[in-house]
Copies of this chain bind each other. A is one copy, B any other.
Amino acid sequence: MSTASQSGGTGLTSVPAPVVARMPGYLQALDELAAAGQQTVSSEELAGRCSVGSAILRRDLSHLDFAGRRGVGYDTVALGTAVRRFLGLDRTRRIAIAGAGRLGSAIADYAAVRFSGFELTAVFDTAPEVVGTTVGGAPVLPIEQLPAAAAEDGIEMLIIAVPAPAAQTVAEAAVAAGITGLLNFAPTMVTVPEGVHVRHVDLASELRVLAHYTAPAQPAGIDSTDLRNTRPREHAL
Chain A interface (Cβ within 8 Å of chain B)?
Answer: 1-3, 5-15, 17, 20-25, 27-28, 47-54, 62-67, 69, 75, 78, 81-82, 85-89, 93, 95, 101-103, 105-107, 109-113, 116-118, 156-157, 159, 180-183, 185, 187, 189, 194-195, 197, 199-218, 220-237
Contacts and interface: CB of A to CB of B under 8 A. Distances in A.
Number of copies: 2
A151 to B, nearest CB: 16
Nearest to A18: B230
A23 B212 contact: yes
Given A21-B209, A51-B1, A69-B229, A13 B203 contact: no
A27 B197 CA distance: 24
Given A25-B205, A75-B228, A106-B106, A197 B213 contact: yes
Contacts of A66: 226, 229, 233
26 contacts: A1-B51, A2-B47, A2-B51, A5-B227, A10-B223, A10-B225, A11-B217, A12-B223, A13-B224, A14-B224, A23-B208, A28-B187, A63-B235, A65-B224, A86-B221, A87-B209, A87-B212, A89-B211, A101-B106, A113-B204, A118-B211, A182-B210, A189-B232, A197-B214, A202-B233, A205-B233
